[in-house]
Structure 1
Amino acid sequence: MRLPVMPPVQPMLAKSVKGIPDPAKHGGLSFEPKWDGFRCIVFRDGDEVELASRNTKPLTRYFPEVVDAVKANLPDRCVLDGELFVAIGDRLEFEKLQERIHPADSRVRMLAETTPAGYVAFDLLAVDDGSLMREPFSARRERLETELAGVQAPIFLTRTTTDAAEAEDWFERFEGAGLDGVVAKPLDAPYQPNARTMLKIKHERTADVVVAGYRLHKTSTPEQPLLGSLLLGLYDDEGRLQHIGVSASFTAKRRAELIEELQPLVAEDLSEHPWGQWSEWAIANPDRVPGTQSRWSAGKDLSFVPLRPERVLEVGYDHMEGSRFRHTAQFKRWRTDRDPESCGYEQLEEPVSYDLASVLGKQG
């Protein structure tokens, strides 16, 4: 493979902002949907195709159907930035996308048939013998539209707008199709690998959850125990406490304070804890309950310290992935005024359903 931009390339990143920014204050902005998938840079030189992840690891073997689509749709020699996704029905399904990363080639081939992935392109780094990385985004986008004018599913060209009001509308509506928010790109910015020159606007929500355990931090010692993450739960309709995610990202001082603060709640008899049975089968499982392994966490110590589920915590979160928080929840405050049993799934905001095909455009 010989291209004007060669792997590895770290993709350009975004920093979080609150609300849709004013384009006039940034010298002009291009807005586009924020896709909830795997960031992926595509390198194609004739029949040679490489798919690289955000951290430059190879993804090629896991998505043979995308490799075939790249050969059928994209310019013979090009480098694109975009996102791999899996759609089920009218929305994105990140959990199904995660299943595609599997060591067995037979399963990879089977999943390529049953849950095929798509690729949505949103930037062009090189085409033919020329690099476009020093060109402003406005020029890269124009060239991208020209080069991908005739692409067919499962390759897509992301929608864009320079209208902040339309971007605000997308932010509210597109979440129902499983999208993650909106990205704003300065029109005059070159492509800067691993630099946070873009802006991302994500949904922010809060929920009251039950604290049912914690894991120790990797730097914790017997002499100085430090909390790594809090394990969070919500009660389902049958009154069972379901694991919904974790809260982490504390300062060292706060990690030590939380360990001391939570010691009176440590459950001595694990069999009486709602999650006690999980300690007996630390194997891969679809629910990713505490203390169990998955292909993403193999080798990590996932043991946890059980706490009596007596304390309620308000956390911030962006959106859900099935019955769990998609990302790490943010610690807000203790809610001593709430009973743990009152913390159920009904408090979570559900986005209005929206057809993914409408986001993808006529190709969808």
Structure 2
Amino acid sequence: MLAKAVPQVPAPESVEGGLSYEPKWDGFRALIYADGDGTTVDTVEIGSRGSKMLTRYFPELVDAFQRLLPGPCVLDGEIVVPTGPAGKQRLDWEALSQRIHPAASRVKLLAEQTPATFVAFDLLAVGGESLLEHSFGERRARLEEFAGALPAPIELTRTTTDVELARKWLVEFEGAGLDGVVAKPLASPYAPNKRTMLKIKHHRTADVVALGYRVHTSGRGVGSLLVGLYDDDGELRNVGGVSAFSDARRLELVDELAPLVELDDSGDAVKGATERSRFSSGKDVTFIRLRPERVLEVRYDQMEGMRFRHTAQFERWRPDREARSCTFEQLDRPIAYDLADVLR
């Protein structure tokens, strides 16, 4: 079951039957398939939204499900990794992404050093009973009855029908690393692959410097722009990419950016390479370097360390801005918020 992006938290009366609101967790969406006999759980499989099996990467969660679940079930939720000292915990996307590793020894070590938490937000089946045709309001009540008293690392996401509280969550919970708010129709059955839920994320703008571009996978045009910001030491740092250009726009950008392409002594374009990650394995990470002179405005949702958490969206060119004026100081930083207060 998927979510459709909307610009603001909708009023409950905008949907027949009303809405339930909950935090939007920034982790790995996961379906938990727990099988067994009666009140015992013998086998557990963890599947991603795209049906990729994640079971081997989270042995500590498999153990917890086997020990703590009161019986066979199918749970829908999010795998997250909290880090930080007590009172200042927040979600850590980098620590979570490191768990997808081919070496079992590395997975075991990380499971001990940065253990994951599963935040449940839906119950799709319990025992031999499918709940897919039940309304979300009924499924949530069954989820609380089934798993509401379970200890960590299994948590139930909090919910509310108070739209003003949900709007407050949208602002406050970002400080703990959360991604926004989700609104769910209380009267709707579970609809796989349908965007019946509504998601509200943070949207901000920033002026950044174009520092390079990658050629599109087709071999023609600009696939994505690499952009940067100047730090306190005056160093231009790569903060992410901008993509989603149309076919025609990709070809236009090649011509527009041609005067900025850095050339070597032989007249060839200078190339660079971004750091390779486990998610870029096999992908071309080289890019055409540009002289850092052109400024563009982008839309982004949040930062992860010194980079945009997700790919930014092109808004407009800013010929009125000097590249050196594009610094990290312009970014809107959320007020810190303890993750434990979100889970309570």
For the criterion TM > 0.5, the same-fold answer is yes
| Cα shift at 1:294 | 1.5
| Cα shift at 1:269 | 3.0
2:254 and 2:300 mapped to 1: Cα distance? 23
Match of 1:292 among 255, 275, 291: 275
Letter in structure 2 aligned against 1:345 = F
Q: Residue in 2 aligned with 1:172?
A: 171
Q: Residue in 2 aligned with 1:23?
A: 12
Q: Residue in 2 aligned with 1:194?
A: 193
Match of 2:30 among 17, 20, 40: 40
1:48-59 matches, cutoff 5 A: 48-59=43-54
Q: Residue in 1 aligned with 2:214?
A: 215
Provide the TM-score with structure 1 as the length reference: 0.89
Q: Residue in 2 aligned with 1:285?
A: none
Match of 2:312 among 325, 329, 346: 329
Instruction: State which drifts further: 62-71 or 28-37.
Output: 62-71
Q: Residue in 1 aligned with 2:237?
A: 242
Give the secondary structure class of the aligned counterpart of 1:159.
Answer: coil
2:95 and 2:257 mapped to 1: Cα distance? 36
1:41 and 1:60 mapped to 2: Cα distance? 10
Match of 1:61 among 53, 56, 81: 56
Structure 2 residue ranges without an equivalent (≥5): 36-40
| Cα shift at 1:73 | 2.0
Letter in structure 1 aligned against 2:171 = E
Provide the TM-score with structure 2 as the length reference: 0.94
2:309 and 2:264 mapped to 1: Cα distance? 31
| Cα shift at 1:180 | 0.3
Name the Cα RMSD after superposition.
1.2
Give the secondary structure class of the aligned counterpart of 2:73.
Answer: strand
1:243 and 1:291 mapped to 2: Cα distance? 9
| Cα shift at 1:54 | 1.3
Q: Residue in 2 aligned with 1:3?
A: none
Letter in structure 2 aligned against 1:247 = V
Q: Residue in 2 aligned with 1:182?
A: 181
Q: Contact (CA 8 Å) 1:36, 1:179: kept in 2 or not?
A: yes
Match of 2:302 among 295, 307, 319: 319
Does 2:333 correspond to 1:344? no
Q: Residue in 2 aligned with 1:233?
A: 228
| Cα shift at 1:74 | 1.8
1:170 and 1:56 mapped to 2: Cα distance? 30
Match of 1:81 among 76, 80, 85: 76
Q: Contact (CA 8 Å) 1:75, 1:127: kept in 2 or not?
A: no
Q: Residue in 2 aligned with 1:5?
A: none
State the Cα deviation string for residues 269-302 of structure 1 (Å, max 9, x = none). Answer: 39xxxxx8x94xxxxxxxxxx4332211111111
| Cα shift at 1:38 | 0.4
Give the secondary structure class of the aligned counterpart of 2:286.
Answer: coil
State the Cα deviation string for residues 216-245 of structure 1 (Å, max 9, x = none). Answer: 11112xxxx311000010111111111100
Q: How many residues matched?
A: 330
2:264 and 2:321 mapped to 1: Cα distance? 25
Give the secondary structure class of the aligned counterpart of 1:350.
Answer: coil
State the Cα deviation string for residues 81-127 of structure 1 (Å, max 9, x = none). Answer: 00000011210010110001111111100000100000000000000
Instruction: State which drifts further: 234-243 or 33-42.
Output: 234-243
Letter in structure 1 aligned against 2:30 = C
Letter in structure 2 aligned against 1:311 = R
Letter in structure 2 aligned against 1:261 = E
Does 2:102 correspond to 1:119? no
Letter in structure 2 aligned against 1:306 = R
1:355 and 1:114 mapped to 2: Cα distance? 20
Letter in structure 1 aligned against 2:6 = V
Give the secondary structure class of the aligned counterpart of 1:297.
Answer: coil
1:292 and 1:205 mapped to 2: Cα distance? 26
Letter in structure 2 aligned against 1:318 = D
State the Cα deviation string for residues 56-75 of structure 1 (Å, max 9, x = none). Answer: 10101110011111112223
Give the secondary structure class of the aligned counterpart of 2:254.
Answer: helix
Letter in structure 2 aligned against 1:187 = L
